[in-house]
Structure 1
């Protein structure tokens, strides 16, 4: 007999989680001294912008044909 997996739903929407990660990364970058680590953290925060990613996932026209 197969057992059901214990699945949890994420606390918020995908866009909300990406936005909170971006805020966290920007706060982390502000505490670092200017240089490579700070630049990498700021770049990572800018990539966490969920608007573009979320729009691509929701829009049916952007999905690849099977």
Structure 2
């Protein structure tokens, strides 16, 4: 038995299927982009006065570095 869908659901799916995602090719690797962002955040943290904002910038820089290491680790031949 085939289920029928409402006209509203059909219109939604047809409009969703006709939209195209904007795609572009990255010029730098993920690790390079993460390292650059971590460096940028560390530079901002050096200029920021001690306090909450500085700690937030340093925490985000560490997160980017952890992401960089995790990405490198996931691309090792032993895991593939």
TM-score by length of 2: 0.61
Unmatched segments (≥5 aa) in structure 1: none
Q: Is the 8 A contact 2:31 2:72 kept in 1?
A: no
Q: CA deviation at 1:31?
A: 1.2
Unmatched segments (≥5 aa) in structure 2: 1-17
Higher helix share: 2
Q: CA deviation at 1:16?
A: 0.2
Q: Indicate whether 1:10 and 2:26 are aligned.
A: yes
User: Where in structure 1 do 4 or more consecutive aligned residues deviate above 4 Å?
Assistant: 2-6, 59-63
CA RMSD in angstroms comes to 2.3
TM-score by length of 1: 0.72
Deviations 1:24-58 (A, max 9, x none): 100111111001110110111011111x2213432
The total of aligned residue pairs comes to: 61
Q: Tell me what 1:57 maps to.
A: 74
